Amino acid sequence: MQDVWINGTAMAQTGRHYGLNADEMAARVLEEALKDAGYPEIEALFVASATAEQADKQQMLGAYIASRLGLDKIATYRVENADGSGGAALMAAAMAVRSGLYNCVGVVGVDKPNDVLSNQQQDIYSTATDAVYERYFGVTPAAQAAIMAKIYLAKYEYKYEDLALWPVLMHKNGASNPYAYMRKQAKVEDVLESELVSDPLRLYDVGPMADGAAAVVLCNKKGAAKLLGMWTSTSAIPFNNRPDYDVLYSAREAAERAYRMAGITPRDVATAEVHDSYSIFGVLAAEALGLAPRGGLLAALKSGADLKVNLSGGLKSRGNVMGATGVYQAVEVVWQLMGKSPFKRVDGSIGVVHSMGGVDKVSTVMVLGL
């Protein structure tokens, strides 16, 4: 078994990249990551994308990204797990290096949801729900997140104002991240006055869809950060028959297994980037990672705890870059551990990435260390 190191990292500012094709945008960022890694010879490229077919009419995106950089003869794979594609591609790439098959591989996440209209974004996002039993009836991830938020808030006797602390924290974190989409501070009142999207969730509870691309280079030789543990877990329970709606089963299992592999406990985590496509998922993911007891994260926020979670601003402020999200998160955590601008060095050497596809369908948790 080979050790897996992150040798190169790069990401693009998220937003509305109307002037770039998806393959072009991905190729530019991959080139930066390869440069950062000192141009190692990569033998394979793993591409994470959730929307390539639907927004950009492109399958086999890896082959076209390779064309843009002249990466002839390498293996290319496109990995799709909806908005959890990034974590899945990282996992696949890491397994390939760990197994000894490849010495060095590239991972690039790219999505351009702003190439389609807002209602078409909902069409795309709702394909992450069950096509027959959910999507057909107009169900979207937002509606499912809203139902979970309602149940969570009621169960732990929180008010909506308590949940609003999450987007406030995200905007505070994202305000100083030049790569983020929404770079302004927000007050609780801004959140409370924002429009309802799916009650109780308001506009500020929803990560805005953003175009983005991020890349890492994974090799079996020492690099900036080491992959200490990783696990992917699927929750096979249909949304309609979940025993509990106040927990992310996939995240809980993936975190437990990844922590065990890395030999760490939640107390070792100096920074975490979690998949808060909706604020409630940020809360539940942070709890699943053990950063707060079940039902206790909002209480921690209320008491002013200094949570090192989503220092990037998360999906709320950095933007929901769909399938690219997991790769962004990995880059962000590495930079936070290194103290690379725009991030200040965090107090510790262990960082965690939580990448999730759909509403608690598949989660990947990666533990990274300096």
Partner 1 sequence: MEHESVPLYWRNIPAYYRLVAKRCKKCGEVYYPPVVKCTKCGSAELEDYQLPHEGELVEFTVLRSVPTDFLKQKPLVIGLVKLGPVKVLGQIVDAMPEKLKPGQRMEVVFRRVVVDGKYGLVMYGYKFRPRP
Q: Which residues are at the interface with partner 1 (CB under 8 A)?
A: 118-120, 122-123, 126, 130-140, 142-144, 146-147, 150-151, 195-201, 206, 236, 238-241, 245
Question: 119 or 303: whose CB is closer to partner 1?
Answer: 119
Question: 151 or 261: whose CB is closer to partner 1?
Answer: 151
CB of 290 to partner 1, least distance (A): 27
Phi then psi for residue 369, to 5 deg, are: -140, 155
Phi then psi for residue 156, to 5 deg, are: -100, 15
Question: 229 or 358: whose CB is closer to partner 1?
Answer: 358
- Letter for the amino acid at 172? K
Contacts of residues 336-339 at CB distance under 8 Å and 24 or more positions apart, as own/partner, are 336/270, 336/271, 336/311, 337/225, 337/270, 337/271, 337/368, 337/369, 337/370, 338/224, 338/225, 338/370
Question: 23 or 246: whose CB is closer to partner 1?
Answer: 246
CB of 266 to partner 1, least distance (A): 30
- Letter for the amino acid at 244? D
CB of 278 to partner 1, least distance (A): 11
Q: Render the burial of 303-317: b for 16+ CB within 10 Å, e for the rest.
A: eeeebbbbbbbbbbb
- Letter for the amino acid at 60? M
CB of 135 to partner 1, least distance (A): 8
Question: 72 or 195: whose CB is closer to partner 1?
Answer: 195
Q: How far apart are CA 23 and CA 30, in angstroms?
A: 10
CB of 182 to partner 1, least distance (A): 17
CB of 86 to partner 1, least distance (A): 23
81 bridge partner residues? 83
The three-class DSSP label of residue 47 is strand
Closest CA to 226 of 338, 316, 307: 338
Q: Which two tokens stand for residue 110?
A: 């790219």
- Letter for the amino acid at 188? V
Question: 39 or 137: whose CB is closer to partner 1?
Answer: 137
Question: 179 or 181: whose CB is closer to partner 1?
Answer: 181
Helices (H), the chain: 22-36, 52-56, 61-69, 85-98, 118-126, 141-155, 160-163, 165-174, 188-193, 249-262, 279-288, 297-302, 314-317, 325-338
CB of 61 to partner 1, least distance (A): 24
Question: 3 or 123: whose CB is closer to partner 1?
Answer: 123
Distant-in-sequence, close-in-space partners of 242: CB < 8 Å, separation ≥ 6: 249
Question: 174 or 208: whose CB is closer to partner 1?
Answer: 208
Strands 350-357 and 104-111: unpaired
CB of 236 to partner 1, least distance (A): 8
CB of 151 to partner 1, least distance (A): 6
